[in-house]
Amino acid sequence: MKIKARFFALYRELTGSSELELEVEEGITVAGLKEKVTRDFPQLQGHAHSLMMAVNSEYAAPDVKLSPGDEIAFLPPLSGGSRG
């Protein structure tokens, strides 16, 4: 099945792309996709622990199963701002 992967900030720089169409197996989970992408893009492996993912604009747990046509965003960790 095909899904769309979107990479933001540091992950866009490391993968060299802001958006890719990926072919993945039916029933793959968010965790499975994370493993696949870090295997396909070894430069992401050092950042896998902080990699956040959203499916169709909603943060997703690792066990969420993906569906054909889903859009998965690979997001850097959120950082706090200053309080004023």
Please say if the pLDDT value at position 80 is more than 80: no
Q: From the CA atom positions of the chain, what is the Rg in Å?
A: 13
Q: What is the pTM of this model?
A: 0.86
23 pLDDT band, cuts 50/70/90, is very high
Q: Looking at residue 79, what is its pLDDT?
A: 56
Distance separating alpha carbons of residues 8 and 11, to the nearest angstrom:
5
Please say if the pLDDT value at position 43 is more than 90: yes
Domain ranges of the chain: 2-75
Q: Looking at residue 49, what is its pLDDT?
A: 85
Please say if the pLDDT value at position 55 is more than 70: yes
Please say if the pLDDT value at position 82 is more than 80: no
Does CATH place domain 2-75 in 3.10.20.30? yes
Distance separating alpha carbons of residues 68 and 3, to the nearest angstrom:
6
